[in-house]
Amino acid sequence: MSEQPAGQGSEQTAEQSLPEAPENPLPEMVLVAAVAENGVIARDGAIPWDLREDMLHFRRTTTGHAIIMGRTTYQEMGALPNRTSIVLTRDTSFTADDAIVVHTIDEALQAAARTHPGQPAMVVGGAQTYRLALEAGAQTQILSEVHQSPEGDTYYPEFDREEWAEERREPHDGFDIVWLHRKHA
């Protein structure tokens, strides 16, 4: 789901400090992912299919929001235009000029609440970040179920489908977009 990296003038930098915002409730976490039938989401750091319509869906869904991604995903695709990039990493020495760097899901949600109050935080990968968000109680998944089974080395985390209600399914050429909501969020 890569796009061209953001240029100068990104919304927030790692060097800028964010004001404390105890009044802002933590946002809903929405996972946005394209997942093949075999669970693959990437191969060698890239998406192993080319579905322009899905890329447009990703752009429409995430533009104007805070996006939470892992360090590796950030290093592969960079900050995206018209979004606030929040990079989740265990590496306490990691910095980024065009993103907010955090070390826990809670810190990521706090940053999203401060930069985009009242809006959901979009979790855009990679696999470890999706897993952490699911474990932390993410309420919504917007999955592009890709009708392919490519070889890959990165997989979407397994989750109990019984815990999720399918709210909507939108068929497209080569994939379906599926909206899942946690039954007991």
Longest dimension (CA), the chain: 46
Residue 149 lies in a domain: yes
Nearest CA to 14 among 103, 77, 76, 82?
A: 103
54, part of any domain: yes
9 in a structural domain: no
Q: What residues make up the domain containing 53?
A: 29-182
Count how many domains the chain has: 1
Domain annotation covers residue 156: yes
Residue 146 lies in a domain: yes
Inter-residue contact 175 to 169 (CB < 8 Å): no
User: The domain that contains 108 carries what CATH number?
Assistant: 3.40.430.10
With contact defined as beta carbons under 8 Å apart, do 176 and 144 qualify?
A: yes
For residue 101, being part of any structural domain is answered with yes
Burial status of residue 34 (CB atoms within 10 A of its CB: 0-12, 13-18, 19 or more): buried
Q: Is residue 110 part of a domain?
A: yes
Q: Give the tens place of pLDDT for each residue, 99-147.
A: 999 999 999 999 999 999 999 999 999 999 999 999 999 999 999 999 9
Digit-coded pLDDT (tens) for 14-70:
444 555 545 679 999 999 999 999 999 999 999 999 999 999 999 999 999 999 999
Q: What does the pLDDT read at residue 43?
A: 96
| Whether residue 7 has pLDDT greater than 50 | no
Q: Is residue 87 part of a domain?
A: yes
What is the pLDDT, as a whole number, of residue 184? 80
Q: pLDDT band at 2, cuts 50/70/90? A: very low
